[in-house]
Structure 1
Amino acid sequence: MAHKYSTIIDSSTYDTQGLCPGIDLRRHVAGDLEEVGAFRAQEDWRRLVGPLEKPYAGLLGPDFSFITAAVPECLPDRMEITAYALEFGFMHDDVIDKEIHNASLDEMEHALEQGGQTGKIDEKAASGKRKIVAQILREMMAIDPERAMTVAKSWAAGVQHSSRRQDETHFNTLEEYIPYRALDVGYMRWHGLVTFGCAITIPEEEADEARELLKPALITASLTNDLFSFEKERGDANVQNAILVVMREHGCSEEEAREICKERIRVECANYVRVVKNTRARTDISDELKRYIEVMQYTLSGNAAWSTNCPRYNGPTKFNELQLLRAEYGLEKYPAMWPPKDATNGLPVETERKEPLVNGNGHYASTKANGLKRKRNGSGTGDDTKKNGTKCVKKSAQISQLSTDSFALADVVSLAVDLNLPELSDDVVLQPYRYLTSLPSKGFRDQAIDSLNTWLKVPQKSAKMIKSIVKMLHSASLMLDDIEDDSPLRRGRPSTHNIYGTAQTINSATYQYVKATGMATELGNPSCLRIFIEEMQQLHVGQSYDLYWTHNTLCPSVSEYLKMVDMKTGGLFRMLTRLMVAESPVGEKVSDDALNLLSCLVGRFFQIRDDYQNLASADYAKQKGFAEDLDEGKLSFTLIHCI
């Protein structure tokens, strides 16, 4: 199967327990659209149903959210609404877990059955949940009517199954529990969302075979869910969990029950790996069924990886910075960062935003570009299109590509001479930088600034600006270092240029240098810009020697190597101390020589420690690859000492 929308990432960083051997972990390139869909669902739930924590711990994850890893080949134009639907499913599941009688299961089942039969859901005097389900179906019908109705039908079957919790609450053995749980894990709903998201249609005559082939995957997914969710669910009134069943069946401790479940997960996952391999070679089934079986394997690796650090199972501290900002300030201020590309020229195409529901009843309107009506399917419409008397609102994240005949020739000519065009944001140039800064970091430089400020008393505003300058420069240097060293990993994740490409990464890093320079001019002391430029020059000269020795296979002396380290690695430490002294009200009393010595020693410590760990540390190997310096032909301090 060709992978158009995802890249492989290192699974060992996440699946530390080896639950899904033999299945790659992949990450969708447009994962940010998933988060946009999730936040939209949260906002609509609060407005139409009731209170919800901010941000809600549903499908969000700090490094990647659920669908980004579990459906890495979801079509980008379907990512946002698929996430919206799944996030609503998570919220509704939480209601079922806490108090099943408040879940409105009968109403939900009726609404979804109606949607599956007619393609629309009646909203007169409807509850908030029904209005949200109607919104989901409307958006999906606008994209793919046939598969949207499949979503409604399969979801209705899942809701019907959930209502059985009121009758089936006790299982004596794991073998009794698994058939029930494999369906209750949300398979019916998930089946609909995956087939919609990936545009798969399984022939009706192959439906039973699809479910039979999928059995090991359903068992793996359900037990993985139980393994990670037990801590969250143990106090819920309607909890159904394999850990409890195994403890009851074997009279064992929770830890022993967990190990039994882990081993069963590994066995079933291995079974499914064989199913995928065998199915791929078959000639008696449709290509659509083959693709479905192959796509579903990523549910297993993605679910296991996401579960290890998602806020839903690991606590609210696991939200990343952007998620917290979106929760506090909304999507208006922090919209989608992934712009689709025009197929002909690679330029970003403006992504349309979804406005909030209007009394739970939203329709779509065409968008305007520079006052021109965009044509879709050969017809032009305006923003004020109405349907059933309800004013339309814009369709969210509909990925459309401009073609050469999208506008009349006269409109193209007028655009060519128009200087009053919409501004292009810096979202694209910032994407590589944002990716790098989202990776785990110890934050040593910020801590160093805070520590030095105990004595230097730099004003808070200046200290914050110095932190930002150093962060920009450090991140930019890491992006460029990874390109120059051809490093595949950074902090255990794919290097930035392996995701965004070398050219875009260089452009993003250079942009950070420009931004940092501008910020240096805003510091109070005029000498700060001079300090900034001096240390930047030193840093690049030091880096040039490191590259020169490696490229020409020349071994420097220890003194030459240490001087290079002072200029390169010690440069940022020296810059931050010099900037702080310049901004300090007690700076005249501080000796530059003493702080410069400290900066050089700290730089040498970090570089020599890094050189040693590169060869000797297993943890470091996970983050950067085993003995990467040897692969690069780099003359590290350790190797120079040996030579």
Structure 2
Amino acid sequence: MEDQIFIQSRLIDADEARKNGAFTTLPIRIHKRNDIADATAHRVLRDWGHHMADGWEKKALTSFSHLGNLNAFTYTEALPERLGVLAYLLDLGLIHDDATEGIGLEDAIAEHRDFERSLDVETTEQPAQGSRADKLKKLAAQILLEAVRIDHDMGIHMLEMYQREWLAIVEKDNDKEFKDLEEYFTYRKCNFGMRAFWPMVEYGMGIRLTTKDQELIKHVMEPIEEALMLTNDYWSWDREYEDWKTNGNRLVNVIDVVRRTRSIPIDAAREIVKQMIIHTEQEYVKRKTEFYKQHPDLSLDLRRWIEAGGCVVSGSHYWATSAPRHHVRFRESSAQELSSPDISSEASVSSKTCSSHTSFAPDECGDPEASEVQVSTRALKKDDGKRGQKRRYVEDELHQNGLKKKVHTELGWEMPDDMAIQSPCRYIRSLPSKGVRSMLIEALNVWIQAPRESVKAVEQLIRLLHDASLILDDIEDDSPLRRGKAATHLIFGHSQAINSANFMFVQAVQEARKLSNPQAVDIVLRELERLHLGQSWDLFWKHNLISPTEEEYMNMVDSKTGGLFRMLLQLIAGEKEQSPKCDMERLIRLVALLGRFFQVRDDYVNLKSATYTEQKGFCEDLDEGKFSYPIVHFMQHAPAMLRAQVTSIFRQRPSGGTGRETTPMTKEVKQHVLDLLESAGTFEAVLNLMRQMEVEITTEIGRLEEITGESNPMLWLVAEKLSVRGLV
């Protein structure tokens, strides 16, 4: 059965491993395609040198060793086409960790946050053009794209968990000294990033564990996680201890905890930790054996997963015995290898096979050489946060007491306090956002190359208009939810919400006046006019119970949804002194296609997505009696008998002109409508249309890349994020 469990890896001779100093009791395996891992590690160094140009590609100690690549020992059963993605992310993280030690304290904090955002596919924060953050973003964009192209759903999940469960939490603890092993392990379980590591193993193997699976094997996997933490600490001790003596950085290592709490020499503490590792490995074997007996019919995937977990422990252990990253005596040979012609030459692996992970790999999850900078800055971050909170609190107090006023010096009168009008604005801005428009703005600017300051101003302007439209849409649709939270008008009342939305329109026009393009205000007003005209037809059809044709619906979308897309493109292009590299007509066609696709996709997920149900309610468009695209298609193509049923149901909605207050449509009636659409083939037809639209969009992106001679991975990421593959 072993040949069914271990498909991608081969066994390392145990006697040979012991000669190199390994004492792990578990079998050691290495991926058969170590060449992919090595070639990707070279690629990361080349890419870092090209994008960052700071010299760290020559100094960083990454995944290389003469025994094999860390990634080949860690992701032993990864599919070969995915190993490169994982290897890229890990090595990118290692270089980043080393680079943060070569800069000042505050810069290290900022760069860590920049790295976190560079791997966040939904971030709405955009770095300054030409900054290190901007370079990191471009460096990471290609590998993010490769990850989701290989496997859309698992790629998105892996990257979200990596960003949220590792990068976003690594700085969050204080710098107090651990009083015992229990306190240390509690800290390390959070800091070590295993919740981010396992999704990477899932991605590599192409196995997505269910919650039930995870709970079933949890007892077996617990010793593996503990063994990984202990193994990392054992082999990184010399380097961390030297760093502590030289630079005074905090020691985050189990050997130090044992040494201090038991008042024993370092060698004795190290031997105790060694025995702890062996004991923990054997506990894993014991639990695994008992588990297999209790579950003789366990699926092959789960058996492969459990066995691969043990290989992570033994593989990282063996690699660490001779890794230049941990041992000075191996660094000279490593430096010679990295300066060889291979680094500058093309790797043997295609650039399409690449990239992936960062510092929570078994030997790096708790890498104090990287984390000490982070840990030692926590007090500073905490203080800054308190000062910021206090400042906001004082401002709120001034607002509440009517003391914060703006004086119009020319006329001598005071502007009213803006707390009341800004509160709904701040609320809608605080709700989670998919960030698609921000990503699109940044992606389009790859070709347009407008100044970063102007792009930020356009982004702010679009955000104001978008937020204002969301508030008004929820009122006009009588929608109770927005992104899983109460709609703005339910918090602040209809009148206040409408007033704040109108205020944001005024602010947007003021933002347009600040742009360098003298036509900016005209562009905003022209597209706002079209947007409101489009919305008028959406409301008209609903109020009068008239289903438009598909052509009429798309015309409405071009005016309404496409309006903001078209506006942001024209505003960015207007900020460029010279003409953009590519034809504006082609760019306008692209954003028009994106606008249509975005709206039809939104209409589809409103009726079909469980996630959308959580955020907006179950089939909320049906509560509104809205003629969304699936309903429009159904009313044009379904048999008359079925159309009559939907018309009858919609006629009973308040939007049909009854004048009654809105009450949600019953779940049973909604399900009946869904069944009617399903039986008429509507959902399949809508999916086919979206697939066709997606082909048109990707074809247009490809043509624009040919015209400009410049690839645009950020734009491909937008397309992948919205891809139909994520819906079925």
TM-score after normalising by structure 2: 0.44
TM-score after normalising by structure 1: 0.49
Structure (1/2) with the larger helix percentage: 2
